[in-house]
Each structure stands twice: as structure tokens, then as C-alpha cells.
């Protein structure tokens, strides 16, 4: 029987790269881990049973969007998102902090009230306070809850970055109080500071002082160069507690993930596998393949001979090219499922190489492979 207490176990390291396990009441998560994004209670275009077959152990939902639809009342009626969407494995929820940035034209920030949104659906006023964010995530019944933070757009302006740290720290304290004592769930803090080493260290120190079950690197993957992201991770990730999970939010390409694992990151999420699938882009051990390209029109080979989920290994690139050109929805469904499967296979290979002490060789082979 699964232990109801949330915990993290560090099993091995290969230089900075870490192999571990996160224990939750709904299942074990092997790290480094990739979380497919189910913003509105669905990983777009893929059945939950098939997501499970890819080896996915945790998915991500979004507090802001689930508040709008279906709303807290319906989620409470179902006892949370797990039953509502038929997914019994762990769920992590973004707090709504990313929407403060991505939907900035629809909101304003107040230190005491929180984020004041004008719904992009119907114009209704929504106040997302730190307390409200936690309450919604409790209604979702999230296994890993994120604090509400201000994630500024890409900038080198120290005043803007510093203000974001002050607001995020203030909200993080309030989130922890609202979260209360719950050993079966986890609350993660989110560091800010952009690419500024001193500010990033300041944010980390403040969050460690508050104390969380895990720590996320926020405010990255917002348009900066990949090399700059790797540099700030190199300078600051080791300052995070060794015995807690480390999560890089919104990342990313296989190369992004590989480079961040190299700097000691344990958890990732991104819409890229499914978003790319909807545009005909497949991630494979051959590299990135744009299946819209006419060169695949007569290619009778599958994307992956080994993938038997939904008989994906029986669909040729030629057929997928045809589906795309015919504007058939099956194209995006099959490619999206393949991409999630590939990402999970990629994470599995990362874990195997860390365990064997051969991660550096794997890193060197693939760090530029998908660029």
C-alpha cells in the first residue's frame, strides 16, 4: 500500500544530474520526470488510458483555467480532478501565476488582493488571491500544489525583478498559511529573479526560510537564450535543498530538459509535445521531423518501430503526411500521442544513464540533437 505521506528520495547522482523518486498517496514518480500538460483537465487529443500507457506518472492541471471551467462547485462534486477526468495518478497544478504574465492585458496585480483578472471568456471580474489559489487547488485535489507567484516577462530590469520577488515572497507566506498542515500533499515554492544571479539567490534564500516541500525555478523559459537559462541554473540550482524536488517550470524541448538535468533539475512540464503534434512536428530518435514536408509523402516507415500504443508502429510517415494534408484530426492525435511517448522514453533513458554513471555521454550525444 502506498504511503500517504509526500516525500522525496535521492537515489543517485552523476555529477549534478540526479536520480530520485517522489512518493505520493497516488503513486511514485521517478525523477527526472516529465509532466504532460492538461491545462483544462485534458492532455489535448489523447485519452487518459493512452497517457498512462506512455509511462506518464503525473500530469499538470491549471488553477486559473479550471476555476473558469468547470469551476470549483463541479470539481467538489466529483471530489477533485482525478475522478472528473478519470486520471488516478498524481496531479500537479500551476497556481495561476503564469496566467498573470500570459494574460497580463486581462489583469492587474495588487499586493494584498492578489491578481485581479477580467475573464478572457466572459469579462467577469475574478480576484485570485494567494488564499483563493490554494483553495482552488484543494478543490482540484492536487497532489502537488504551487504557490501563487508573479512571473514577470523577460527583462533585465532589476527593479521589476526585485518587485516580483517581494510580491511572490509575500504571497508564498500566505499560501503556506492557507495550505496548512497536510502531509499527504505537497506545497512547492517558486523562485524568481530572472537571469540575475544575486536576485535569484535572494529569492531562494527567502523561500528556504519559509520552508516548502519542493522548489521550482520560475521566470525562466520566457524568451531568454537557452545558454542563459543553463547558466543561471548552473549558478543557483545547487543552493536549493538537496533533499527536496527541484522543478523547472514550462520546459521544454528535449535539449532544454537534458541541459537542465545536467544542472540538477528533477521535474519538467511543457505543452510542446502536444502543441507540436497539432502542427505536424514529431520528436523522434531521428531528430525533429516536420511531417508536413513532402519528402515524407512516400516514406513507409513509422515514427517508432517499438511503440505499440494504439498500434502507432503500424502508421507510416506517408499516412501521417496524408492525414495532415487532408486536415484530419487523427493526425494531431497520433503525433501528439507519439510525442508524449517519445518524451517519456527520453526521460527513461536519462534516468538509466544517471543510474549507470554514463549520463555525460548521453548528454553530449543529444544536447544539440533536437535544435
42 by DSSP, 3-state: which? Answer: coil
* Sign of the CA dihedral running 143, 148, 149, 152: positive
Q: What is the DSSP letter of 316?
A: B
Q: What grid cell was written down for 120? A: 478572457
User: What is the secondary structure of 93-155 as a DSSP string?
Assistant: EE-SHHHHHHTGGGEEEETTTEEEEE-TTT--EEEE-HHHHHHHHHHHT-SEEE-----PPS-
Residue 36: which of 63, 18, 61 has the closest Cα?
61
Q: Is the bond into 184 cis (omega within 30 degrees of 0)?
A: no
CA pair distance 138, 309, nearest whole angstrom: 33
Within 10 angstroms of residue 125's Cβ, the number of other Cβ atoms is 8
**Long-range CB contacts for residues 87-90, cutoff 8 Å, separation at least 24:** 87/38, 87/48, 87/51, 87/52, 87/59, 88/26, 89/26, 89/27, 89/52, 89/56, 89/57, 89/58, 89/59, 90/24, 90/26, 90/27, 90/29, 90/57, 90/58, 90/59, 90/143, 90/144
* 101, 222 contact by CB (below 8 A): yes
Q: Residue 363: enclosing H or E segment and its boundaries?
A: helix 359-366
Q: What per-residue confidence (pLDDT) applies to 135?
A: 97
pLDDT at 2: 60
Among all chains, which residue has been given the C-alpha cell 522543478? 247
Residue ranges in the chain whose pLDDT is less than 70: 1-3
Ramachandran sector of residue 216 (left: φ over 0; alpha: ψ -120 to 50; beta: rest): beta
Residues 6 or more apart whose CB falls under 8 angstroms from that of 91 comprise: 26, 58, 59, 60, 61, 81, 82, 140, 141, 142, 143, 144
Instruction: For residues 79 and 319, give the distance between their C-alpha atoms in angstroms, rounded to a whole number.
Output: 42
CA distance 303 to 206: 46
pLDDT digits (tens, 9 = 90+) for 159-196: 999 999 999 999 999 999 999 999 899 999 999 999 99
What pLDDT, on the 0 to 100 scale, is given for residue 330? 98
pLDDT at 3: 64
The residues carrying an active-site annotation are 94, 269
Alpha carbon of 49 to those of 182, 286, 311: distances in Å? Answer: 29, 27, 14
Q: Which three cell numbers stand for residue 145?
A: 500544489
Q: Based on the number of CB atoms within 10 Å of its own CB, is 60 exposed (0-12), middle (13-18) or buried (19 or more)?
A: buried
Task: Say what the pLDDT of residue 81 is.
Answer: 98
Angstrom distance (rounded) from CA 32 to CA 10: 11
Label residue 51 exposed, middle or buried (CB < 10 Å: 0-12, 13-18, 19+): buried
Task: Identify the CA nearest to 179 among candidates 134, 122, 214.
Answer: 134
C-alpha closest to that of 296 among 271, 274, 323: 323
- Domains within the chain, CATH numbers bracketed: 7-270 (3.20.20.105), 280-359 (no CATH)
Amino acid at each position: 500500500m502506498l504511503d500517504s505521506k509526500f516525500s522525496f528520495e535521492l537515489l543517485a547522482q552523476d555529477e549534478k544530474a540526479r536520480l530520485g523518486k517522489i512518493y505520493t498517496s497516488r503513486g511514485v514518480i521517478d525523477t527526472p520526470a516529465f509532466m504532460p500538460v492538461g491545462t483544462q483537465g485534458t492532455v489535448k487529443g489523447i485519452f487518459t488510458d493512452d497517457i498512462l500507457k506512455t509511462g506518464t506518472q503525473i500530469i499538470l492541471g491549471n488553477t486559473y483555467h479550471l476555476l473558469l471551467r468547470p469551476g470549483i462547485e463541479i470539481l467538489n462534486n466529483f471530489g477533485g480532478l482525478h475522478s472528473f477526468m478519470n486520471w488516478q495518478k498524481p496531479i500537479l497544478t500551476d497556481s495561476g501565476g503564469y496566467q498573470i504574465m500570459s494574460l497580463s492585458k486581462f489583469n492587474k496585480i495588487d499586493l494584498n488582493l492578489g491578481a485581479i483578472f477580467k475573464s478572457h471568456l466572459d469579462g467577469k471580474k475574478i480576484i485570485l488571491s494567494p488564499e483563493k489559489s490554494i483553495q482552488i487547488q484543494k478543490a482540484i485535489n492536487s497532489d502537488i500544489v504551487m504557490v501563487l507567484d508573479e512571473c514577470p516577462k523577460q527583462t533585465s530590469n532589476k527593479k521589476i525583478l526585485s518587485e516580483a520577488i517581494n510580491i511572490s515572497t509575500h504571497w508564498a507566506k500566505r499560501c503556506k498559511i492557507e495550505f496548512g498542515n497536510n502531509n499527504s500533499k505537497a506545497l512547492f515554492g517558486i523562485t524568481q529573479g530572472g537571469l540575475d544571479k544575486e536576485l535569484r539567490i535572494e529569492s531562494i534564500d527567502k523561500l528556504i526560510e519559509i520552508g516548502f516541500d519542493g522548489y521550482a525555478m520560475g521566470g525562466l523559459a520566457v524568451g531568454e537564450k537557452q545558454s542563459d537559462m543553463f547558466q543561471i541554473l548552473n549558478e543557483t540550482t545547487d543552493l536549493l535543498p538537496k533533499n527536496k524536488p527541484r522543478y523547472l517550470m514550462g520546459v521544454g524541448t528535449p535539449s532544454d530538459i537534458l541541459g537542465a538535468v545536467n544542472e540538477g533539475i528533477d521535474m519538467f512540464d511543457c505543452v510542446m509535445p502536444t502543441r507540436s503534434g497539432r502542427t505536424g512536428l514529431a520528436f523522434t530518435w531521428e531528430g525533429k521531423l516536420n511531417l508536413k514536408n513532402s519528402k515524407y509523402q512516400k516514406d513507409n516507415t513509422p515514427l517508432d518501430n517499438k511503440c505499440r500504443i494504439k498500434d502507432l508502429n503500424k502508421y507510416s510517415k506517408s499516412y501521417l503526411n496524408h492525414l495532415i494534408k487532408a486536415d484530419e484530426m487523427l493526425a494531431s492525435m497520433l503525433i501528439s500521442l507519439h510525442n508524449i511517448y517519445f518524451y517519456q522514453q527520453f526521460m527513461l533513458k536519462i534516468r538509466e544513464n544517471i543510474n549507470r554513471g554514463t549520463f555525460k555521454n548521453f548528454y553530449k550525444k543529444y544536447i544539440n540533437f533536437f535544435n
